[in-house]
Amino acid sequence: MHLDYDTLIIGAGPAGCAAAYDLAQAGRRVLLVDRRTFPRPKACACGLTRKTLDALRYSVEPVSERICYEIVLQQASDDTSKREVKVRAKNPICAMAVRERFDAFCLAQTLAAGRNGGSATLRKIEHITSIDEHPTHIVLTVATATGPETFTAPVLIGADGSNGQTRRIEASLRNSGEAQSPSAPHWYEKGFALEACVPYSALPSSLPAGDAPTDLVFDFAPLPGGYGWLFPKGDHINIGVGAFAPTADDASTQLKSVTRDLLDQYTQHKLGVSLAALGAAITGQYLGMGGHAYIPHGRVLLTGDAAGLVDPLTGEGIHSALVSGQAAAAAILESIEKVEETERAELGAPSSPTASSSTKVGSEASKIATAYARHLQPLQQTLAFSARAARAFYRNPERGFRAMRNPLLRPLILKTYADGLPHTKLITALAKFV
């Protein structure tokens, strides 16, 4: 049977583009569908840690607006000497970009990628109508401005973020199968964050809470289970508040504490300006979490926020989106290569990528899911560690600040945030500290 593409990808954000880039570079034909027209705004402070920059397949220097070498960590404390810890590094900790431009840049790199007949194509859709899983392939039906369209491929990647449709459809596909998977989306949890942009030109000559306008600030004072932030860009500060790791039993109550009023008050407290008076837009979005417990299944692979892969300790999600997109691509390529190897052995002759080998990959669906689970495991292990660390830290931030004030632990904590240090090293050091 002829299939239209080697892979269908829903969502052209960081996760979808990362998967599409690797597949196209490896000679595969990919269709990306997205319901937005790019460039499109997306609520995100777009702090790109060192590990995020390392995971990207190309330099994002053209859209990087600032490089930060220092992080300022703040907490509520009556003792002013305990309110702040500054962590400085010789190497850049984080690059600052504006998400709309970052995503448009990554998409352009992805659409220009493609070797040996491989390519990534983007289609604007209205919404997904259905995803049907057949014994050898997926049939995706979408609504477009000009009517319904149908596409086929052996595998589909769900990269449509925290509010996407694929996760829910994938859950219903699983549940209609003979076995109820233990990983049906009860594992999926949500964080919530709001942000706004304040131009440097609107700031008073000195900031009321004593911050410098170009400080990269994580402030754990304004709400439990999350933080407020100041992320300095080229011509503005991205200011926000987010709840990532609920400390209350009722997580939804805690997410509801992240309000426009809270952000406006926080902006007045930190920057001395009113968002309402500035006419600044406040935007927000849920963040997908809990994905350390996600178990891939069948021919629909979830990635990024759709798979709940945001780090619950830091709220960072672009790194996980890239790594999971690349892991899905690696699993698909591995499966295709195995089929082609078998074909070569059977025919006794070399073969090039063909649609027929893709069709055979479709019949190997459980193997693709297993391969994806294997490629995803290192990230999931790190996120499971982060989930435990987040519970401990947000219940008692002072304990975490004590660790950060320790000169031996501080560089390790910084390295874990910036580079994704193997967590066993950090656990050993923390255990010694405790």
Ligand X SMILES: Cc1cc2nc3c(=O)[nH]c(=O)nc-3n(C[C@H](O)[C@H](O)[C@H](O)COP(=O)(O)OP(=O)(O)OC[C@H]3O[C@@H](n4cnc5c(N)ncnc54)[C@H](O)[C@@H]3O)c2cc1C
Q: How far is the CB of 351 from ligand X (least distance, A)?
A: 33
Closer residue to ligand X (CB): 35 or 360: 35
Q: What share of the chain is helix, strand, coil (3-state, %, to 5)?
A: 40, 25, 35
Encode 162-182: b = buried (16+ Cβ within 10 Å), e = exposed: bebbbbebbbebbeeeeeeee
Closer residue to ligand X (CB): 47 or 400: 47
Closer residue to ligand X (CB): 38 or 200: 38
Q: Which residue is nearest to ligand X (CB)?
A: 317
Closer residue to ligand X (CB): 251 or 430: 251
Closer residue to ligand X (CB): 128 or 339: 128
Phi and psi at 259, nearest 5°, equal -120, 165
Closer residue to ligand X (CB): 127 or 425: 127
Determine the length of the chain: 434
Q: How far is the CB of 356 from ligand X (least distance, A)?
A: 29
Which segments of 135-185 does DSSP mark as H helices, in order?
166-175
Q: How far is the CB of 432 from ligand X (least distance, A)?
A: 30
Q: What is the 3-state secondary structure (H, E, C) of 21-59?
A: HHHHHCCCEEEEEECCCCCCCCCCCCEEEHHHHHHCCCC
Neighbours of 90 (CB within 10 A): 5
d(CA 3, CA 154): 7
Q: How far is the CB of 42 from ligand X (least distance, A)?
A: 6
Q: How far is the CB of 383 from ligand X (least distance, A)?
A: 12
Dihedral sign from CA coordinates of 198, 202, 206, 207: negative
Q: How far is the CB of 248 from ligand X (least distance, A)?
A: 20
Closer residue to ligand X (CB): 34 or 364: 34
Closer residue to ligand X (CB): 128 or 389: 128
DSSP 4: S
Which conformational region is residue 259 in: left (phi greater than 0), alpha (psi within -120 to 50 degrees), or beta? beta
Q: How far is the CB of 159 from ligand X (least distance, A)?
A: 5
Closer residue to ligand X (CB): 310 or 418: 310
d(CA 2, CA 336): 15
d(CA 159, CA 182): 22
Q: How far is the CB of 168 from ligand X (least distance, A)?
A: 10
Q: Is the backbone peptide bond immediately before 204 cis, with ω within 30 degrees of 0?
A: no
Cα→Cα distances 341→11, 25, 137, 140, 361, Å? 31, 19, 20, 28, 12
d(CA 282, CA 291): 27
Q: Residues interacting with ligand X, by CB under 6 A?
A: 10-16, 33-36, 42-47, 125, 127-128, 159-161, 164-165, 193, 195, 240, 285, 287, 304-306, 310, 316-319, 321
Q: How far is the CB of 111 from ligand X (least distance, A)?
A: 14
